[in-house]
Structure 1
Amino acid sequence: MIQLIASDMDGTLLGKKMEVLQENVEAIRFAEEHGVKFVIATGRNLSEARPPLEDVGITCPIIAVNGAQAFDENRNELFTIEINKDSASEIVKTLEDDQVYFEICADGHVYSNSPAQRIENMAMNLANMMPHLTFKMALSMATSQLDVLPIKYIDDYQRLLEDDTARILKFIAFSHEEAKVLAPIRKNVEKLPDLIVTSSYPNNIEINHQYAQKGIAVKRIADKMGIPMENVMTIGDNLNDVSMLGVAGVSFAMGNAEMDVKNVAKYVTDVHSEAGVGKAIRRAIEENL
């Protein structure tokens, strides 16, 4: 019997316009009417995750930054798992030496050192998700989203590392050449202690503390609610979702998921643009998966 559902956002809960589709909203309400708790588990930070949920009136706990932070439905912080500053300095050096653009998530903010590259990377992601868009249209959409998604620009990341109050939660590095550039970087980063490297799109790698994983975070939330993992359902589409798909009693990969993700999940649902999350939720409850 499903008691808790944890869903990813991008490529999963959200549609092509980064909105929560009405069919998904109705399925979440259907689950709640059956006594099932709903939780978000995303690579986004809290301030990035909130707007699309608030737009449709969804109030729920949020696991953010791939499991580096979690908040209850009232946005009270439940836990934070940060990357220590020595490791962060080594990561910065590695990424800068390889001359890739990267961003740092720290305490509710995303930090970038290049507005132009920030927009270009957002446009590339939008173009990949929506092939019907021209790159010019994707650039326009990315520019408009900068007003919604909080971003702080900093000329030197070293200033952030020297700030004793800043908690470093995640690095995300990008390359249009994808694995050709990112695979060697990933190998070098994985040599550093206490880190894990995942991905949310083929053109990025995401670096967290090894205990900042969605699977670990979902289990912590479930334990807090007194719910055994066999009664937990998880839904995701990419490699940063694999840890939570692997630990849940019921797991769904999206139709648009990477094949490695589908191989881990117990079931496969429809694509994100066709409300695959809503279909998975209704199937799990109606069939008592």
Structure 2
Amino acid sequence: MEPYLIITDIDGTLAVDHQHVSPRTVAALNACMDQGHQFFVATGRMYALAKIIANQVGPRAGVIGSNGAVYDFGGKRVHHLLGEKALRAVNEITESHGLTAFYFTDDTVYYTKTPPTFVADALRVFDKGLTVEVKEVGTLENLLAHKERITNGIVISPRDSFGLKRSMNELDASGLLHVSASNTDNMELIPKGIDKATAIQELQKLTGIPAERTIAFGDGMNDRGMLQVAGISVAMANAVAAVKNIAKYETASNTEDGIAKFLEQRFNLPHPHIN
């Protein structure tokens, strides 16, 4: 059988509860890799946090992190950076709307000012990434000292949808970066011209595996691009309507082993007796 490229989002897709991959899904993905197929997680998470989930599948699982700004290939890590102009624009625009942006390298989260308590609570997810540091740098100039490592960022604003929307519109209009969202309460900051789709297209070229043998699973708005460059696009049952509308297939939800069920049928894998 010719090799396939299998790509899955993490939250709402691969992970059952944002932290764990089910035994049945792990078994199905490893059975696919045993057949010679390549597997990558693709996520907005920074590399270190994405790697924690990929490692649950096994050492052969690759990582596309930071919404495509970072990915593994051939034992090396490829990076795309936000860059100084984008960082300056994000800092100016988000601060003008009273919002806090968090900026990611492979293993560190930076921010320039102390966020509101309810936003700081969202950072607790990073506590589970044992190799991840969270640092307040205080000023834009201190942030720019890390510009050669910052790949992407996020703004979390569960209580100010208006300020978030205004910031998204202004940053989008700047043309300095790509703005997306994985949920209605956030704004994802990605290098210009980069998203999960561009990383997959680069991997298709590097592996020689064409779009018609690329399978992508997703559930959120920031998964639409990668589904459109995969010949076999699969929406989870829990996916938003915009994802289901463009996907060629639909499978069960992330809590019902949707990925495993699709792959078991597609590749005629044995049905494991795993709860």
Shared topology, TM-score over 0.5?
Answer: yes
| Sequence identity percentage | 26
Q: What is the match of residue 261 of structure 1?
A: 243
Q: What is the match of residue 103 of structure 1?
A: 102
Structure scoring higher RCO (CA < 8 A, sep ≥ 6) equals: 1
Q: What is the match of residue 30 of structure 1?
A: 31
Query: Match for 2:207: what amino acid?
Result: M
Matching of residues 237-248 of structure 1 within 5 Å = 237-248=219-230
Structure 1 residues 243 and 160 mapped into 2: Cα distance closer, same or farther (>3 Å)?
A: farther
Structure 1 length as normaliser, TM-score?
0.83
TM-superposed CA distance for 1:157, in Å, is: 4.4
| Count of paired positions | 265
1:160-199: CA deviation from partner (whole Å, max 9, x where unpaired): 4331663321121111146433222211110112421111
Name which of structure 1's ranges 88-97 and 156-165 shifts more when overlaid on structure 2: 156-165
Structure 1 residues 281 and 2 mapped into 2: Cα distance closer, same or farther (>3 Å)?
A: farther
User: Is the Cα–Cα contact under 8 Å of residues 82 and 209 in structure 1 kept in the other structure?
Assistant: yes
Name which of structure 1's ranges 188-197 and 55-64 shifts more when overlaid on structure 2: 55-64
Secondary structure of 2:206's counterpart equals helix
Matching of residues 171-250 of structure 1 within 5 Å = 171-177=153-159, 179-250=161-232
Structure 1: unaligned runs, 5 residues or longer: 123-141
Structure 1 residues 165 and 111 mapped into 2: Cα distance closer, same or farther (>3 Å)?
A: closer
Partners of 2:147 and 2:168 in 1: CA distance: 28
Secondary structure of 1:260's counterpart equals helix
TM-superposed CA distance for 1:121, in Å, is: 2.5
TM-superposed CA distance for 1:218, in Å, is: 0.5
Aligned-pair Cα RMSD in Å: 2.3
Secondary structure of 2:71's counterpart equals strand
TM-superposed CA distance for 1:118, in Å, is: 4.8
Name which of structure 1's ranges 238-247 and 275-284 shifts more when overlaid on structure 2: 275-284
Structure 2 length as normaliser, TM-score?
0.87
1:239-279: CA deviation from partner (whole Å, max 9, x where unpaired): 11111001110011111111111112111111111121212
Secondary structure of 2:19's counterpart equals coil
Structure 2: unaligned runs, 5 residues or longer: 270-275
User: Is the Cα–Cα contact under 8 Å of residues 101 and 117 in structure 1 kept in the other structure?
Assistant: no
